[in-house]
Amino acid sequence: MTDQRLGLIGGGNMARSLVGGLVKSGTAPESIIVSDPDDSIRQALAEDFSVQTCADNPSAAHVADILVLAVKPQVMQCAVEDIAENLLQRQPLVVSIAAGIPIASIESWAGSPLPLIRVMPNTPAVTGNGASGMYANHRVSKSQRAQAQKIMEAMGIAVWVDDESLIDTVTAVSGSGPAYFFYLMDAMVKAGQEGGLNPEISRQLTLQTALGAAQLALASDESPTELRRRVTSAGGTTQAAVEILDKKGCEKILIRAVHAARERSVELAKLLGDE
Ligand SMILES: NC(=O)c1ccc[n+]([C@@H]2O[C@H](COP(=O)([O-])OP(=O)(O)OC[C@H]3O[C@@H](n4cnc5c(N)ncnc54)[C@H](OP(=O)(O)O)[C@@H]3O)[C@@H](O)[C@H]2O)c1
């Protein structure tokens, strides 16, 4: 970021990952201000990253050129109404990372049209390995898109979708995605233990395999289908496992699970956005 001031409304887990990533990647701490009602949260952010903090939202919104809304969805309406006057006066770029809150709801709570970006990050953001899907409304300029992307890249990769409804699919794939992999890891650790490995060894082998498979897939131009085919020799051990997965319809089950997450995201957006 250049001379732009970044404000964050809410200083919890996600805000902490974002601030940590930004400061680590060279953003000047004095250009960041975080508002949070919790004294201990503010103190920890100030101590760990030397950023400015404040207890009230308008103080952050009063100086920010880019404002990240990082409160829980349930308190978003209250937080936006709290800064509505600042938003009207300053017209900052607003970036919401709240799950399930449509852009139209934020604009209606703010009472004014705004350049607004909706982002769905995920928990690996904590280690800088997050994946965020982003959608911008038509008031966001090209340079604001680039600024927002750079900010979100402090937590991992950030990609754009061109329709807001696709944020529900992003939520289902990468937002909830870490849990699917944890589910698979859990089963593999258990299977290793059942096969005689001690729990820690089984855990290490499973987790490193997950990391290695992801890195290999990222480094390759081949699709996961092709990579899987290559490690599955006829009559071998991998084929024995894949045959069970295929016979039980695991691929279809996983696809159905992701669709269920998307449908729930649509339902939650209706509930949260209509407040
Ligand atoms: N964590 C994830 O994996 C993840 C993934 C995707 C999207 N998100 C989205 O990211 C947002 C933040 O999530 P999080 O996990 O970081 O939540 P969090 O840890 O609860 O952080 C939210 C912070 O906002 C504070 N707060 C509450 N009311 C406020 C207000 N009116 N004004 C300013 N600050 C206020 C909270 O303080 P108190 O605790 O004192 O209430 C808390 O410190 C959510 O909207 C969530 O949907 C999170």
pLDDT tens digits, 210-267: 999 999 999 999 999 999 999 999 999 999 999 999 999 999 999 999 999 999 999 9
What does DSSP say about strands 52-54 and 66-69: parallel, antiparallel, or unpaired?
Answer: unpaired
For the sheet containing 6-9, what is the strand order? 52-54, 32-35, 6-9, 66-69, 93-96, 116-120, 130-136, 156-160
Nearest CA to ligand 1 atom 27: 71
Please give the Cα distance from 66 to 51 (Å, whole number). Answer: 15
Domains and CATH numbers, the chain: 6-165 (3.40.50.720), 177-269 (1.10.3730.10)
Taking alpha carbons only, the member of 13, 16, 24 closest to residue 46 is: 16
Q: Is 179 touching ligand 1 by the criterion CB < 6 Å?
A: no
For the chain, the distance separating the N- and C-terminal CA atoms, rounded to the nearest angstrom, is: 34
At 124-178, the pLDDT tens digits run: 999 999 999 999 999 999 999 999 999 999 999 999 999 999 999 999 999 999 9
163 Cα–ligand 1 center, Å: 25
Could you give phi then psi for residue 112, rounded to 5 degrees? -150, 150
Q: Is 72 touching ligand 1 by the criterion CB < 6 Å?
A: yes
Q: Is 68 touching ligand 1 by the criterion CB < 6 Å?
A: no
